[in-house]
Amino acid sequence: MLAYARLVLICLLLFLALTENVELSNIVLGALIGILVAVILKPAPESLSIRRLPVALFNLARYTAWLAVDIIRNGIRVARIVLDPKLPIRPGILAIKSDMKTELGIALNAHAITVTPGEQVVEIGEDGTLYTHCLDVVASAAGAEAAQRTRRRLMEGIFE
């Protein structure tokens, strides 16, 4: 039931964001659409406690902020590489071990790597290893482990 309620709420918020109209009739319409989506999708019941929600949201905000800083830093790094007359790229594929347990965790991890410029997950192995193509594989390999540890710590705060 809780999973249904959550899905309806998410759909309602999305609908309100899209229509930008918070009249009662529009809210009712959004809720009805949300219920329709929930009935069609049948979300699996999962254990989630409402008490953990503020902590999870706070950790999500912290993770987003860290990701934004990482994106900007790597964006400037890639811009410098591209604009350098010598084009100093050392491309290659690097295996990064992802210790996330759930599929959603692995997907989020791969997304976090891919969204930063200069690194991109090309393939995901059976054991969750992320094969990442890097513009500068030497520099990325040097910093990969520390970055992965930070990512993992921040993401664990969201899920557990």
Q: Rule CB under 8 A: which residues touch another protein?
A: 14, 16-18, 20, 71, 75, 78-79, 82-83, 87, 89-95, 110-111, 114-115, 117-123, 125, 131, 133, 135, 137-138, 141
Query: In the complex with another protein, which residue's Cβ is closer, 3 or 139?
Result: 139
For the chain, what is the total number of helices (H) and then of strands (E)?
5, 3
Backbone φ and ψ for 134, nearest 5 degrees, come out as -120, 145
The token pair that represents 117 in the structure block: 């410029």
- C-alpha–C-alpha distance, residues 18 and 79, integer Å: 34
Q: Minimum CB separation from another protein for residue 143, in Å?
A: 15
Q: Minimum CB separation from another protein for residue 45, in Å?
A: 25
Q: Minimum CB separation from another protein for residue 32, in Å?
A: 20
Query: In the complex with another protein, which residue's Cβ is closer, 37 or 94?
Result: 94
Handedness of CA 99, 62, 146, 90 (dihedral sign): positive
